Each structure stands twice: as structure tokens, then as C-alpha cells.
Amino acid sequence: MPSSSLVRLRRYLGSAWGLWLLLGGYVALVEMRPGRLYFILTYLLFQESVTQLLGYLLGLGLALAGLLALWLNRARLLYSLGSVLWLVCLTVSLTYRLVIGYNFMYSDAVLAWNNRALASVALQSYAGQLAGAVLGAGLVLAGLHWLRQRIAWRAAPVSALLLPLAGAAIYTQIKWTTGTVDDFPALYRVPLTLLAAITDQLPQPRRALVPVAPAAPGVPHLFLVVDESITASELTLQNPALRTTPFLYSVRGQLHDFGVASATINQSAGSNIALMSGTRLAELPDTRYRTFARTSVFQFAKRAGYTTYYIDAQLGGDVLQNFMSPEDLRYIDYVERPAAQQPQLAYHERDMVVAARLRDLARQPRKVFAYVVKAGAHWPYARTYPADSAFFRPVLSPRSLYKDQNRTLNTYHNAVRWTVDEFWRQLMVDIAPRDSAVVVYTSDHGQNLTASGVAVSHASVYETSPQEVAVPLWIWDAGKLVAFPPTAVPGPGRSHFDIFPTLLRLQGYAPAWVAQHYGPSLLDAPNQAPRQFMTGDLFGRGPHALQPFRWPLAQPVK
């Protein structure tokens, strides 16, 4: 016969309090992350207050009570409907855990909402992880249903009101902490962090006017080309043994190459809006949203007499991305999207259309400034180059992102060989010195190509590889319009923060004024201050950090 202690334990575990504790253990181990939970508890205790810590624990306790009331509710209809929603939310959470190593949280919700136009591509690329998450979530819910049938205790139907009550408390805490406190059971976390991200409307103030007139005419045709997902160390320019950009390597004497630069942040949206706005390192995280009120590079160009172009090779519809707003369109004369103009255009041909368009703009009799967002090597890599141009093999299938490191590297290197090397081959053949064009080139961010076992290539928040922000940076000045002083050399201080002042210098604004307001340019000596970059959200919403940029990597890619 079982001992009296065992009998009492069974009775306790079969009670409402005992079941609440058991459910809490399951949630902490399966639906949440113990490490994330520990971080939140210590963050609230030591960086906030005991009151906020108690508020989080109260919200978590209410969430568990709501789950318990749903799981063991006497009303079968409530239980069935709740289980469907639980299955969906747990699937989303587990998909993210399989893809990036941690659960869906606020910063992921922000990124997903800002890139919702790419949802179909993401579903194709991560179909395997999604299938695994569906299977895992189904098994978990099946297990909970099996336990429900063996537990006698039932909650009254009215107890289901605990769900919206707990939801309101959790949503308030997510909004209050701008996503820093975001780890709760999946049934709450997934919809509420997404709702918080959607309703966190960014301000759209009027941008400040250009406060000064240019002091010189500026170069006639100035193009800033921002590539997509290009890691500088994967170019032949930085690694001569790697045959990804043989053409560029053969003409390297024509480039003012500044080596491996660091991007502002390891994701596209924040990187591009910072480049457009001249956001400075000292302002990060930009919790006051000063980026949106800064004078944009388009405004400076307009004041200097340029016709302004924004060319987006990534999106096909009439959609603004990268945190741009209608305010920015006031200073852009022409917005062009190759995919919208040629709907049947293959994805890998978009950048070649951009190269041809820049040739045309370089021959315009008027002054032209163009900001280009290339299609680049955006995942999945296999779609960014023609299949018959593959130089490195074996490769991933067009719908795969990561299979193994060798195939991933080969596929990525093929993408670089096409979208960087072939793009520049066409550009440098088509634009002659007489066209008086200067091209500043970089990438929005790099790609994590290390064997870390993490299936995302950028936009990570934790244990971020410097490869995610290691980007190329050079200037091509075929007509030798720019006088590069001896100080304009590669160095450990080169970063995205050098680009905005460089563009202003090339547009004709006074060097002293530019340096005073925006810091050193690529025409100045490298900044000797240690480089840093952002992870998470540029505006500090949700988990984020300023991290040191240390290069080269301690463990190079094999």
C-alpha cells in the first residue's frame, strides 16, 4: 500500500493549487525559457524595482491560472476553442525556437510585422521547422488532453474570465516595458507581443530643414548603393583565396576600399533609416526617435540642387519599408521599383536592372542623387543568382536556407559572385569617367556564416556574431572627381557612421560644418574610438544591446 505521504502528495497534485504548480513547471520548461525567465527576474529586481518584479510574478501567476481554467474547464466548447488557439500560438513559438534558438518575443514581433511582405518567402524557407513545430505542438496538446481525461478536477466555465484578465495585465506590462518583459506562456506571448508591436506606432514628425547652404557644387552624379546581406570577409577583396568577386579583385586599384566596416545594426530596417538620417552612435538606442526628425540625406541633396531618386529592388508593390514614411517622400523626386515596373522579372535580374538604370542616371545632364536598396543576397540565397551560374557546389535547393555549413557557404558565395561581382562588372563597364559619377557602396548588414548551429543569418539579439554587421565599404570614382587625402585610408574605425558625412561632403557641404555636426567622413582619418553596433530594435523597443565590434573573428569560417 502507498504511504500516507505519497497519498497526500497525490491529493495535493490533484488539487487546483497542485495542478497550477505542475502547469507552471511545464510552461517554464517548454513554453518559456528558464534563462530568459531568470534574466527578467533579475532585471526587474536589480534594474527596476521590487514593485515591478511583483507585478510580473502576479501577471505570470494569473496567466497560469487562466491556462489552468482553460485546460480543465468544464465547458467542452471553451476547452476546444481554447485548445485550437493554444495550438497556433505554441506552433509559432516553437517555430522560432527551432529557427533562431529562442522563443518568439517582442523584437521578433517587431521584425516580423515590419517585414510582413516577405511572409510567403519565410514560410517556404522555414517549411521544415514549421512542420516540426506543428508536430511538437500537436504532441504537447495531445499529451495535455490525455492528462485532462485522467484528472477529475474541473474549473467552472466562469473561471475562463481569468484569460482576458491575465491578458490585459500581461499586455500592460509588455507595453510598459516596451517589450523587455515579454516571456509568458505562448498562448499570451505570441498574440500580445504581436499586438504590442503593431500598436507601437512610431512617430512621424516633420524632418528638420537643411540649416546651411552647400559651399561647393558637389559631384554631378552621386549614388549610394546599399546592398543586402553582404559580409565583407566573403569577398575576394578581403580574402584573395576565395573566388567570389574575381572581377572586383582585378580592378581593385580603381576602388577606394575601406576594408571591413561595421554596420549600425544587424537588420535591414534600422540600418537603412540610420543611413538616410545620419543617426549617430551616441544616440543609440534611439528611444527618443530623433532619427525621424533628423534632416535626411534627400533633403541635403535637394538643397544642393540634385534631382533625388529612391530605387528599391526588393519590393514589388507600392510599399514603403525600412521605417520610411510619407514625410520622406516629400524630398524624393522619383521612387522606382524594378519589380513593380517589370512584374515578370526574375528576382536575380533585379540588381542588373538597377545597374542599367544607374548608367542612365549617370548620363543625365542634371545633378542626380540616388539611394539604392539592392535585392542582393537576401535569403533564401539560391533565388538570388541564376542556377546555371553556380560556381561553388554543392548548393542548397531554392527553398532551403540552411542544410549544412558547406552547402550554405557555397550557395551564399554563388549569390555574392552574382549580385556583387556581376553587378559591379556591368556597372563599371557601363559608366565611363566622362559620366562624372561617384558611387559609395556598402551593405545593410552581413550574414552569420559561422558553424554556431543557429539557423538565422542576422537580426539575432543574443550571442551575436560580428559577421552580422561586417560589411564592405568603398567608393568608386571613375572620373577622379574627388581629392582623397592621404588620411582617407582603411582603418579600425570605419563604419556606417562615416557614410552620411561623406555624402554631405560629396554634395558640396563645407567639411568643417559636416565634421562638427556628423563626425568624420571617409575623406578624413579613421575614428580611433572602439566600434559598436546595435542588436534588437534601433529604437530600443524590446530586448536590445550595444555590442562591441571586434574584428577579425577569433574563429574564422572554414
Residue 13 has what pLDDT?
Answer: 54
Cα 426 to Cα 354, 355, 386, 392, 418: the distances in Å are: 10, 7, 16, 21, 11
Angstrom distance (rounded) from CA 506 to CA 437: 11
357: closest CA among 230, 508, 250, 221?
A: 221
As given in the structure block, the three cell numbers for residue 463 are 550571442
CA angle 63/159/104 to nearest 5° reads 25
Predicted model pTM: 0.77
Residue 20 has what pLDDT?
Answer: 81
Low-confidence ranges of the chain (pLDDT < 50): 1, 401, 452-454, 556-558
Q: How many CA atoms lie within 13 A of 385 on its CB side?
A: 27
Helix (H, G, I), strand (E, B) or coil at 53: helix
The number of residues making up the chain comes to 558
What tens digit of pLDDT does each residue of 66-104 get? 999 999 999 999 999 999 999 999 999 999 888 877 788
Cα 240 to Cα 226, 230, 236, 401: the distances in Å are: 23, 16, 5, 26
Angstrom distance (rounded) from CA 303 to CA 310: 16
Cα 93 to Cα 33, 184, 318: the distances in Å are: 11, 11, 31
Cβ proximity of 393 and 410 under 8 Å: yes
**Phi and psi dihedrals of 369, rounded to 5?**
-120, 130
CA angle 373/130/167 to nearest 5° reads 90
Cβ proximity of 227 and 441 under 8 Å: yes
